[in-house]
Amino acid sequence: MKLIPVLYNSQILPGTFEYTLSEVTDIIDMSLFDNRYHNNATGATTYDPKILLKIALFAYSKGVVYSRQIAQLCSENVVSV
């Protein structure tokens, strides 16, 4: 087994659809979700709403609409640099 460190900043290359999607969603004001996002008092820790939006939009752009398929893509879809 070989462990390779993943640098997420170098995974999304400028000029690609993924890079543009990431830049556009970073502009969106997600402060509406702050109260729910920062509520770690009960249950598991939460995911950043911007990350979830990026994942959903990217999956939908590829025609993937089912949550189990989206979860599978999140574990498999890593760009090698």
Residue 8 lies in a domain: no
Residue 57 lies in a domain: yes
Residue 37 lies in a domain: yes
- What's the pLDDT at 77? 62
Domain span at residue 39 reads 13-76
The pLDDT tens digits for 34-76 are 766 666 666 666 778 888 888 899 889 889 889 899 888 887 7
The pLDDT tens digits for 16-32 are 888 888 888 888 888 88
Residue 38 lies in a domain: yes
pTM of the complete model: 0.69
User: Model confidence at 81, in pLDDT bands (50, 70, 90)?
Assistant: very low
- What's the pLDDT at 68? 92
Q: Is the pLDDT of residue 7 over 70?
A: no
Residue 60 lies in a domain: yes
The b-or-e profile of 25-47 (16+ CB within 10 A means b, else e) is beeeeeeeeeeebeeeeeeeeee
Look at the chain and report how many structural domains it folds into: 1
Q: Are 22 and 12 in contact (CB under 8 A)?
A: yes
d(Cα 47, Cα 49) in Å, to the nearest integer? 6
Residue 19 lies in a domain: yes
Residue 5 lies in a domain: no
